[in-house]
Amino acid sequence: MGRAGGRGRGVRAAGERARPAARRARHRCRQTAVAYLFLAPSLAFFAVFLLLPLLFAVLLSLSRWAGFDLADIRPAGVDNFAALFARGSSFLTPVLTNTLLYALGTVALALTGAVLVAHCITRLRFQGFWRTLYFLPIVTTVVAVGNVWKYMYEPGGLVNGVLNALGLRSVAFLQDPATALPSVVVVQAWASLGSAILILTAGLKAVPHSYYEAAELDGAGPFTVFTRITLPLLRPSLLFVCVTQFITGLQSFALIIVMTGEGGPGDATNVAALEMYQRAFKYGDWGSASAAALVLFVLVLVITLAQLWLFRRKGADG
């Protein structure tokens, strides 16, 4: 009798210990359900505007479609990708080559200019005024920026006027295949300078002033302070600017349309995004345009991952 009573008490004790665990499990389930309920609008937005278009682009890249009736989609396998890289195709050269040069030139000019300007702004009075001044091109439409620079590049424009005043000959900036792409790169870098300056000035303000005081006590010069303190501590901001500017450069084509029309002269300023636009909306070849879009997507992904890996490795080495 006594043994049976002890066994019963043990079972009741085990049941009482199990009840809080079961309540905690039910509470976690309710919390998870509520979390997914709050995430539902964002997940629906992601599915409708990002995931479905991506899947549709993958489908079109393996099909032939003129862009009118979905019933006219015909399977094409990998023919669209093979055509992009076939001998004689202009997609690899000069389109992808121009795209990389355009993005590299934009990042190099914008990053260098932004670092120098941001470094100077943090040492000036009325810093808000200077940041606003450099940010104005960001809030100006691409059409206005492109048309203003287009007239400045004209033979009788401001740029050639300065060259003539210096005793140099006029240059057909947008008409010469050798100078057309660099001319547009300069404008793209200038137009994107404002956001880079804004981010870098915030990064410079986050650098502890005690580091500069210690460097001054050690007798370090301005160049040493800039290269040994400012640039290393500015690495996270530089990484963000570099990645975002590169992605923007790889995807941009509106400025090129405004300044050179259809990527001219010839294909001198034709880039991947413009090539996709023309294949889809001008020639009605949505399959080839989607294949080019996926190639550009892979290119952007690989370059972005390479930049992240490089900056993290530099950070670990530093």
Q: What predicted TM-score, i.e. pTM, was given to this entire model? A: 0.81
Q: What is the pLDDT of residue 252?
A: 84
Per-residue CA distances from 249 to 18, 59, 103 (Å): 60, 26, 4
Phi, psi of 42 (to 5 degrees): -65, -40
Residue whose C-alpha is closest to residue 198's, from 251, 137, 108, 249: 137
275 token code pair: 């090539």
Q: What is the rounded average pLDDT of the residues 29-58?
A: 90
**Residues 168-220: pLDDT tens digits?**
888 888 989 999 999 999 999 998 888 888 898 888 888 888 888 888 888 88
Q: How far is Cα 253 from Cα 65, in angstroms, rounded to an integer?
A: 23
Backbone angles phi, psi at 154, to 5 degrees: -60, 160
* Closest to 233 measured CA to CA, from 263, 255, 203: 203
Residue 75 phi/psi, 5° resolution? -65, 140
Most confident of 10-24, 114-128, 282-296: 282-296
pLDDT at 4 (0 to 100) = 55
C-alpha to C-alpha distance for 257 and 260, rounded to whole angstroms = 6
Evaluate whether 226 touches 204 at the Cβ level (below 8 Å): no
Q: Which distant-in-sequence residues (6+ apart) come within 8 Å of 172 by Cβ? A: 155, 179
Q: Please tell me the predicted confidence (pLDDT) of residue 6.
A: 59
Look at the alpha carbons of 44, 47, 48, 50 in this order and tell me if their dihedral is positive or negative: positive
Q: How many CB atoms lie within 10 A of CB 221?
A: 10
Tens digits of residue pLDDT in 217-259: 888 888 888 888 888 888 888 888 888 888 888 888 899 999 9
User: What pLDDT sits at residue 12?
Assistant: 64
Distance of CA 289 to the CA centre of its chain: 20
Please, are residues 59 and 75 in contact by the beta-carbon 8 Å criterion? Answer: no
Angle at 249 between CA 83 and CA 148, to 5 degrees: 115
pLDDT, one tens digit per residue, over 56-86 is 999 999 999 887 888 888 888 889 999 988 8
- Give 149-175 pLDDT, tens digit per residue: 999 998 888 999 999 999 988 888 898
Report the pLDDT value the prediction gives residue 67, as an integer from 0 to 100: 79
Contact assessment for residue 189 and residue 180, using Cβ atoms and an 8 Å cutoff: no
Q: Are 245 and 28 in contact (CB under 8 A)?
A: no
Q: Which two tokens stand for residue 51?
A: 């995931």
Q: What pLDDT score does 234 carry?
A: 87
pLDDT tens digits along 92-119:
888 999 999 999 999 999 999 999 988 8
